[in-house]
């Protein structure tokens, strides 16, 4: 039986149209394959007061629904601690005292893929670790990976083999790292389909490999194109009317915004009135556009711009 799909925003601000587009695609992929659709709030890092509530309100305004309660990562810390204990008991973790600057300046390890952690702290002796602790440095905890590559299945990109390195599992401030939390949560929530922006495609092999170490079956991925501004950069608040609230201020209703987003996926004609259920009837994952959506600030009376 199918498991679940999910949308997992970070409550650092309002969702922009690119985020809402990804949410719609994640909803469509899940609903058209008989999966539950879950919302998980990734609030282990920067949190802006009220952002989560506004994000959920925007999703509802577009007509997207979800199954079960909204889950917050900050409520799941014991699960991450258990995963770290399991890996540590098997000798698969080690403390890392490197600063970001030191990692950037360190020479790459022999045969290590470009961009991989160079392994500076991988083989420190207990005495060397004690000296660094005595100096006041608070270590992060890294995975002791036993491979340098892993292959994942992506519904839009095919089989993708990518780099695996010693990712951080626990930050120096004691906060579980993203790569650990997302894997643990997907496993615990029976998420077997992950639809997200293609900027995270290179993270998938690392996460899938970590999942196997935790006896979690890696999900099937669908990394969808991002929304970009006219300069080809990721959409951001500075690009104009990019949130649902901004669009309301321009006179556009949530239903019209849904149509705008749907037309960027090829599921609606500009100005057509549609619902998520109608979009699901039209949805074909093989026809998801492969190019990014180039969005420009829209005139509320012009349904063509921005699509």
Report the candidate in 153, 292, 284 with the shortest Cα–Cα distance to residue 221: 153
| Binding residue positions for L-glutamate | 6-10, 42, 178, 196
For residues 41 and 295, give the distance between their C-alpha atoms in angstroms, rounded to a whole number.
26
Mean pLDDT of 272-290: 96
CATH class of domain segment(s) 4-75+225-294? alpha beta
Q: Where in the chain is the domain with CATH 3.90.800.10?
A: 77-186
For residues 20 and 262, give the distance between their C-alpha atoms in angstroms, rounded to a whole number.
10
Q: Left (φ > 0), alpha (ψ -120 to 50) or beta: where does 266 sit? A: left
Task: Please state, in angstroms and as integers, the Cα–Cα distance from residue 14 to each residue in 40, 63, 294, following that order.
Answer: 15, 17, 20
Instruction: Kindly state the tokens that stand for 15.
Output: 């969702």
The answer, yes or no, to whether residue 172 has pLDDT greater than 70, is yes
81-126 pLDDT, tens digit per residue, is: 999 999 999 999 999 999 888 887 776 655 556 678 989 999 999 9
Q: What is the pTM of this model?
A: 0.92
152 in Cβ contact with 164 (< 8 Å):
no
Task: Please state, in angstroms and as integers, the Cα–Cα distance from residue 84 to each residue in 65, 126, 165, 190, following that order.
Answer: 33, 20, 17, 20
| Binding residue positions for Zn(2+) | 96, 98, 117, 121
CB half-sphere exposure, 264, CA atoms < 13 A = 27
Instruction: Kindly state the tokens that stand for 253.
Output: 């209703």
| Binding residue positions for ATP | 237
Of the two residues 136 and 73, the one the predictor is more confident about is: 73
36-48 pLDDT, tens digit per residue, is: 999 999 999 989 9
Q: Residue 114: what pLDDT?
A: 61
Q: Residue 109: what pLDDT?
A: 54
Lowest mean pLDDT among 67-71, 225-229, 245-249, 296-300: 296-300
CB half-sphere exposure, 1, CA atoms < 13 A = 5
Q: Confidence band (pLDDT; 50, 70, 90) for 300?
A: very low
| Binding residue positions | 6-10, 42, 96, 98, 117, 121, 178, 196, 237
The CATH fold assigned to 77-186 is 3.90.800
The answer, yes or no, to whether residue 178 has pLDDT greater than 70, is yes
Q: Where in the chain is the domain with CATH 3.40.50.620?
A: 4-75+225-294
Q: Residue 299: what pLDDT?
A: 41
Share of the chain above pLDDT 70, in %: 93
Task: Please write down the HEC assignment for all residues of 68-108.
Answer: CCCEEHHHCHHHHHHHHHHHHHCCCEEEECCCHHHHHHCCC
DSSP 234: B
């Amino acid at each position: 039986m199918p498991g679940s799909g999910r949308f997992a925003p970070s409550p650092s601000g309002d969702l922009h149209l690119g985020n809402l587009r990804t949410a719609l695609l994640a909803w469509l992929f899940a609903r058209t394959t008989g999966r539950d659709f879950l919302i998980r709030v990734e609030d282990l890092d920067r949190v802006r007061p009220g952002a989560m509530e506004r994000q959920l309100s925007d999703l509802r305004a577009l007509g997207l629904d979800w199954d079960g309660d909204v889950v917050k990562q900050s409520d799941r810390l014991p699960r991450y601690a258990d995963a770290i204990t399991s890996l540590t008991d098997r000798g698969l973790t080690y403390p890392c005292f490197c600063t970001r600057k030191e990692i950037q300046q360190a020479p790459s390890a022999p045969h290590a893929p470009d961009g991989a952690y160079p392994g500076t702290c991988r083989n420190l002796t207990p005495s060397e670790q004690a000296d660094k602790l005595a100096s006041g440095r608070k270590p992060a905890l890294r995975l002791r990976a036993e491979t340098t590559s892993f292959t994942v299945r992506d519904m839009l990109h095919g089989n993708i083999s990518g780099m695996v390195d010693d990712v951080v599992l626990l930050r120096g401030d004691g906060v579980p790292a993203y790569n650990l939390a997302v894997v643990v949560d997907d496993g615990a929530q029976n998420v077997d389909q992950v639809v997200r922006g293609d900027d995270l495609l290179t993270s998938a092999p690392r996460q899938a490999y970590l999942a196997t170490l935790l006896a979690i079956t890696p999900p099937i991925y669908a990394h969808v194109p991002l929304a970009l501004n006219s300069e080809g950069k990721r959409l951001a608040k500075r690009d104009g009317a990019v949130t649902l609230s901004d669009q309301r201020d321009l006179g556009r209703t949530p239903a019209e915004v849904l149509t705008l987003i749907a037309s960027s996926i090829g599921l609606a004609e500009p100005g057509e009135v549609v619902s998520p259920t109608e979009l699901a009837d039209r949805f074909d994952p093989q026809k998801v556009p492969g190019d990014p959506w180039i969005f420009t600030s829209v005139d509320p009376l012009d349904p063509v711009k921005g699509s």
